[in-house]
Structure 1
Amino acid sequence: MVAAATCGFLLAAVAACGGIQAEVHHREVPRPGGPSGTARPSPSAVPSRIPGVGERLWQRIPLGTQQVVVVYGDHKDSPDSTLVLYQKRGTIWQQSGRWPSHNGKRGWTTNHREGDERSPVGVFTLSDAGGFLEDPGTRFPYTQDKDAFISPYYWDEAHWYDFDYVIAIDYNRLRGTRPDNPTRPLGQSKGGGIWLHLDHGDGTLGCISVPESAMEYLLRTLDPKDKPVIVMGDKANLLL
């Protein structure tokens, strides 16, 4: 049985968001004003803001980003959340999709560690996708691999389709590589394999899970030219 490196369950060396020991850590999005760009305008100069996202995380969203996925966690210790896609139209952020979602079964953390069963709070880029099924029409680089993204036969039936579609969340991983690439720039202890993937009805080991319809919509809608990012955390941390 070939183990799938995934954000829900990971066999072998890949950390997974719902699985055995693995999880993917993200690489922090460079802060505006650093080597990657110019500082964001102050809130007073911004005609529209995404609701529920405070100044600390807002400043981490790179200039030029036109698509933002926000995961609003119910509580820091809860696996329940809501995922909302916002797209910028002129100066206005418009909601274009909203779905129930799940995060780490133990909630959220600002200092993610491998095996803590919590999802990392932060702003992370989205750059690579894949899955057991064929590319549904995404603009992301897509890796279909029926060996790497198959759920082990001994998992509960509810998890058999977790990795039909996945989008890698760039936490402690190399952008531009397939989602199950095991490289961990921050070290193995910081976890990894944090993905967006199909929901199985309860919390994960660190990934974010959504209904199949949501994954298909996100894969077909998110566009690298719009510099998509995910802003994720419990509601209290998101507002800081």
Structure 2
Amino acid sequence: MSLAACGASDHGTARGGDDAPQRKTALKRVPGIGDRLWERVPAGTRQVVAVYGAGRNSPDSTVALFTEHGSTWKQERTWPAHNGRKGWTTDHHEGDLRSPVGVFTLSDAGGVLGAPGVKLPYTRSATFQAPHYWKKPYWHDFDYVVAIDYNRVKGTPPNDPTRPQGQSKGGSIWLHMDHGSGTSACVSQSRSAMEYLLRTLDPKLHPVVVMGDRADLKA
């Protein structure tokens, strides 16, 4: 099992106020995403997790969940988050400490803890446990995870190490619990945010994550 993509080593301060409901405003499409990436959202997708990076070289980001209702999109929740501690890249490679920009499906979940009423296939296993030689704030990173379908086989547990594009392209990139600072490539957020996503993401709505720094997202 490879957890290297999620094993950051620096520290910061987690931000609060991430579990308040948002005013649901009707939108023609998810805001802040330009044609280049929006055209890659699969037909039939009705749930979008948007990750808005603060800057190309920043580890700070905001996650928002949008759901399509008829011909409009509504923002359901938003949370503070972290991404790769060196920021973002359109050409991710193992060990670059940047999160990949792009549109990726969300098909599988898992973690150390039991599923909190999930709809996605969920694998509970102690093998998700972060090594205890990591610093203590990181020990619970993988209590809950949702696999981002970058260089992985959909329909397998998130910690399946298979990388169809090869090891050098990185992998094991997840939405997971936050330790207060940037990651190696994953997107991290609070436990309450992860629990909400796990309860809400529905394979019948074909969820995807659209992620990147704000400039790349708009391009």
Residue matched to 1:5: 2
Residue matched to 1:114: 94
Please state how far the C-alpha of 1:49 moved relative to its aligned partner: 1.4
Q: Is the 8 A contact 1:197 1:207 kept in 2?
A: yes
Match of 2:122 among 142, 147, 159: 142
Q: Per-residue CA shift, 1:113-150, capped at 9, x if unaligned?
A: 0000000000000000000000111111111001x111
Q: Is the 8 A contact 1:129 1:143 kept in 2?
A: yes
Match of 2:178 among 181, 186, 199: 199
Aligned residue for 1:209, secondary structure, equals strand
Residue matched to 1:83: 63
The whole-number CA distance in structure 2 between the counterparts of 1:134 and 1:50 is 32
Q: Is the 8 A contact 1:5 1:149 kept in 2?
A: no
Match of 1:160 among 139, 148, 167: 139
Q: Is the 8 A contact 2:8 2:85 kept in 1?
A: no
Q: Kindly provide the amino acid, as one letter, of the partner of residue 5 in structure 1.
A: S
Match of 1:17 among 6, 15, 27: 6
Residue matched to 2:73: 93
Residue matched to 2:23: none
Ranges in structure 2 where 5+ consecutive residues have no aligned partner? 10-26
Residue matched to 1:34: none
Using the size of structure 1 for normalisation, the TM-score is 0.82
Aligned residue for 2:113, secondary structure, equals coil
Aligned residue for 1:220, secondary structure, equals helix
Q: Is the 8 A contact 2:8 2:182 kept in 1?
A: no
**Amino-acid identity (%):** 61
Please state how far the C-alpha of 1:19 moved relative to its aligned partner: 4.7
Aligned residue for 1:88, secondary structure, equals strand
Aligned residue for 1:98, secondary structure, equals strand
The whole-number CA distance in structure 2 between the counterparts of 1:19 and 1:161 is 13
The whole-number CA distance in structure 2 between the counterparts of 1:76 and 1:195 is 19
2:214 counterpart of 1:217:
no
Q: Kindly provide the amino acid, as one letter, of the partner of residue 57 in structure 1.
A: L
Match of 2:34 among 54, 60, 69: 54
Please state how far the C-alpha of 1:153 moved relative to its aligned partner: 1.5
The whole-number CA distance in structure 1 between the counterparts of 2:75 and 2:185 is 25
The whole-number CA distance in structure 2 between the counterparts of 1:212 and 1:145 is 18
Aligned Cα root-mean-square deviation (Å): 1.2
Residue matched to 2:214: 235
Aligned residue for 1:238, secondary structure, equals helix
Aligned residue for 2:76, secondary structure, equals strand
The whole-number CA distance in structure 2 between the counterparts of 1:19 and 1:178 is 22
Number of equivalenced pairs: 202
Ranges in structure 1 where 5+ consecutive residues have no aligned partner? 11-15, 21-46
The whole-number CA distance in structure 2 between the counterparts of 1:196 and 1:163 is 9
Please state how far the C-alpha of 1:151 moved relative to its aligned partner: 1.5
Aligned residue for 2:51, secondary structure, equals strand
The whole-number CA distance in structure 1 between the counterparts of 2:137 and 2:188 is 13
The whole-number CA distance in structure 1 between the counterparts of 2:136 and 2:211 is 28
Match of 2:167 among 182, 188, 191: 188
Q: Kindly provide the amino acid, as one letter, of the partner of residue 104 in structure 2.
A: F
Q: Per-residue CA shift, 1:162-205, capped at 9, x if unaligned?
A: 00000000000000000011111111100001000000000000
Q: Is the 8 A contact 1:126 1:228 kept in 2?
A: yes
